[in-house]
Structure 1
Amino acid sequence: MKVLLYAKNRQVVLKSGVGRAMVMQEESLRRNGASVTMDPSDSYDIVHINTIFPSDYRMAKRAKRQGKKVVYHAHSTEEDFRNSFIGSNVISPLFRKWITKCYKTGDLILTPTEYSKSLLKRYGIDNEIEAISNGVDTNLFQKNEAARILFRRKYGFGAEEKLIMSVGLYFERKGILDFVSLAEQMPEYQFLWFGYTPDSQIPKKVREAVHKKLPNLHFMGYLSKEELQMAYSSCDLFFFPSYEETEGIVVLEALASEIPVLLRTIPVYDDWLINGKDVYKGTNLKDFREKIPEILNGTLPDLTQQGRKCAEERDVMCQAKKLYHFYEKLNADRERESEAREVCLKQNCHKNMELS
């Protein structure tokens, strides 16, 4: 059995959560000894598609015609498309129609959480859907005191300063406006945002927020995963006020790095991250304004060990084993269908010979 990880558009999404998921899929599958190719002209039994460009849809249709099995990874929903790029809210209904069309080409649809699975069901998608975490490399993302010192020294932060970080594209959906607002309200803390989106792609109010000049607000740009690991180790709180996620890979990375986590109360976390047990949650600016100093000052209990356990349950190697199980099942279906076609062809040949 050979799996084609179709990656024509990988560079386009490499700096997003989808891109990170694709990298982790390849690494974890190879570590598990799976036979993997990224060349569409190579032989393969199953194609795994992660993106929703027209070329991805055409690849899925071509694979189906050739009797291959298609795994479509549903990272995107209409809900998390809204409040992102300029005009996203206007075209979101069309976006939903398009992704539904793409996902319906899959013999198996994978999506990161039960929450995102419920959204796809709501779209009227009847294909088999399985929830599987994008996973996190808990060997790479872990607490590292040496990295904390190096990162702070490199970027000029003092050993005693309290650093609050978030990671994501410059999307309103990610809660970036709230992040900037709190930086303005809480000058005693340093607020660091990692990630980048060109000004030309984001609405005016987001551009204005990103370019607001505050001495304690820092937009750090895009970092490699190794540097990002250092950032997690160096910061004192991961604050992720996103309004909508299908999972949140960066949340897993923060949990694995044993950094306190403060999230917005949204449905995607309901069944796996418990407020006051694994993470802390808030619903609005007032909640966040109250909880941030309580977490940083140690007034609230330290949840980082429990958070690390949550990340370990979603380690990439565990997810790779689940994924490989799905591949094996699909490949067995493909082989049965191929055998059935051969029998049918032979039977038709015999009938034609008898008639002649």
Structure 2
Amino acid sequence: MIKINMFSSADKVKGQGVGSAYLELIAMLKRKFPDSFDIAINSYSKADISHYHTVDPWFYLSTFSRKKRGKTVGYVHFLPETLEGSIELFSPFQKVFNWYVVSFYKRMDELVVVNPSFISKLEGIGISKDKVTYIPNFVSTEVFHEEPEEKRMALRQKLGYDEKDFVVLGAGQIQQRKGIDDFIQLAEENPDISFVWAGGFSFGKITDGYDRYKKVYDNPPKNLTFTGIIERHVLADLYNAADVFLLPSYNELFPMSILEGFNCGTPVMLRNLELYEAIIKDYYLGTDDVTDMSRALNRLYRQREELEVYRRKSREAAAFYSEENVASLWAAYYNRLLLSESSVVSQKT
């Protein structure tokens, strides 16, 4: 049995994708491989593999105890450039933090990225592509799955929407990077369409643009609802109740929210980003800007039969990024790490 120490503080802050990805992985490994992996959480005991999900300073210091850590793996959920528009730090602190993140990744024996486009970016900061592995995110169908039509209609009624309403759902932290400005503008310009944003201020007042967004959050347009940070099963109900899931982000890796939408069979609309080309091309309705989004939403609002085309695409994507497929990748990866570590030890002896 391979002993793996998982290091993470991601689940301490609700409403962020890193935490969701971490919890999904832990649950999957324990459920599917109970006899293969002995998993400990934030334990500094000796392990075969130490897998770091967040870049906490105490975790960084632990990497200096090489004999205890075994193979060290860093999960790359972000680079300094992807934090722009997320949190607002005093400029000198931001520079120090950016240096620290890069230093943390460079201390790892191996890195895992959720989007292959990040491999070249890591090369750009001096990390060899040979130590980087791409393993996509996934979402368990236990919580996020498509409900039958009768249940969907019941959920809509429970949320205050009837069959004729056209409901557009967005999800994630309320921050500039997520394209929240465009989402608000769409609500203001399309009063006949209902907009719901599921998420809140996970990082409180250090959220970039907090004061401005808090004013809208407290006094939104009549057709825009902010749910705040909600439990995952409630979010799953919203995906099923919505006609379209819209994520207008400017910068992403592989958002868990997109996978959640796919799993629920919800048509997905996104801003056209180059990084999506490598992972979910052809599975979503792409738009260039807020004008294009408005045009596409109004077309779907008038021609709702077209929604079924994108429901099918979401189902196809959900099958491709299924828990079963990704679980096999993680099992093979951890076993390879242990074999490579054993090989190094035998060569030294």
Q: Give TM-score, length-normalised by structure 2.
A: 0.90
Deviation at 1:86, TM superposition (A): 2.5
Contact 1:241 1:264 in 2 (8 A): yes
1:280 corresponds in structure 2 to 285
Q: Taking structure 1 as reference, are residues 128 and 13 closer, same or farther at Cα in structure 2, changes over 3 Å only?
A: farther
**CA RMSD, Structure 1 to Structure 2 (Å):** 2.1
**Residue 208 of structure 1: how far off its partner (Å):** 3.1
* Matches of 1:91 and 1:278, distance apart in 2: 39
For the residue of structure 2 that corresponds to 1:303, the secondary structure is helix
Mapped to 1, the partners of 2:53 and 2:240 lie a distance apart of 30
Whether the 8 Å CA contact 1:162–1:189 is kept in 2: the answer is yes
Q: Which whole-Å CA distance do the structure 1 matches of 2:312 and 2:19 have between them?
A: 28
Alignment-derived partner of residue 163 in structure 1: 167
- 2:115–2:279 contact (8 Å) kept in structure 1: no
Report what 1:2 is aligned to.
3
Q: Residue 218 of structure 1 aligns to a residue in which SS?
A: strand
1:17 maps to amino acid: G
Q: Deviations over 1:72-123 (max 9, x none)?
A: 1000112220011233877554433221111112211001011222222222
**Residue 183 of structure 2 is aligned to residue 184 of structure 1:** no
**Which of the pair has more CA radius of gyration?**
1
Residues 1:219 and 2:226 are matched in the alignment: yes
Among 289, 294, 297, the alignment partner of 1:292 is: 297
Instruction: Tell me the equivalent position of 2:108.
Output: 106
Deviations 1:233-273 (A, max 9, x none): 00001010000001111011111211111100111201233
1: CA distance, partners of 2:283 / 2:50: 36
Q: 1:254 — aligned with what?
A: 261
In the alignment of these two chains, the number of paired residues is 338
Which of residues 117, 132, 135 is equivalent to 2:135?
Answer: 132
Confirm or deny: 8 A CA contact 1:83 1:173 kept in the other structure.
yes
Q: Cα distance 1:206–1:118, how it changes in 2: closer, same or farther (>3 A)?
A: farther
Distance 2:47 2:245 in 1: 41
Query: For residue 116 of structure 1, what is the aligned residue in structure 2?
Result: 118
Match for 1:238 among 237, 245, 264?
245
Distance 2:339 2:4 in 1: 13
Q: Does 1:195 align with 2:196?
A: no
Q: Distance in 1 between matches of 2:331 and 2:73?
A: 12
Q: Does 1:44 align with 2:51?
A: no
Instruction: State the distance in 2 between where 1:52 and 1:199 align.
Output: 19
Q: Displacement, 1:322?
A: 0.7
State the SS of the aligned residue for 2:63.
helix
Provide, for residues 191-242 of structure 1, a one-character-per-residue CA deviation record: whole Å limited to 9, x for no partner.
1000110652332333333234311110011222211111110000101000
Identity over aligned residues, as a percent? Answer: 22
Q: Measure the CA separation in 1 of the matches of 2:198 and 2:241.
A: 13
Report the Cα offset of residue 286 of structure 1: 0.9
3-state SS of 1:124 partner: coil
In structure 2, do the counterparts of structure 1 residues 90 and 319 end up closer, same or farther at CA, with 3 Å as the change threshold?
farther
Whole-angstrom distance in 2 between the partners of 1:293 and 1:267: 25
Structure 1: 5+ residue runs without aligned partners?
Answer: 344-356
User: In the aligned structure 1, how far is the partner of 2:10 from the partner of 2:102?
Assistant: 21
Written as runs of structure 1 = structure 2, the 5 A alignment for 1:272-351 is 272-274=279-281, 277-296=282-301, 297-298=303-304, 300=306, 302-341=309-348, 343=349
- Distance apart, 1:187 and its partner CA: 0.6
Match of 2:156 in 1: 152
Partner of 1:22: 22
Partners of 2:271 and 2:21 lie apart in 1 by: 22
The two structures have a TM-score, normalised by structure 1, of: 0.88
Q: Please give the alpha-carbon distance, in whole angstroms, between the structure 2 residues aligned to 1:269 and 1:59.
A: 34
Per-residue CA distance 1:44-87 (angstroms, 9 max, x = gap): 2101110011112123332x243610111000112220011233
One-letter code aligned to 1:110: V
Q: Which runs of 5+ in 2 are unaligned?
A: none
Mapped pair 1:55 → 2:58? yes
SS of equivalent to 1:76: coil
* Conservation of the 8 A alpha-carbon contact between 1:278 and 1:304: no
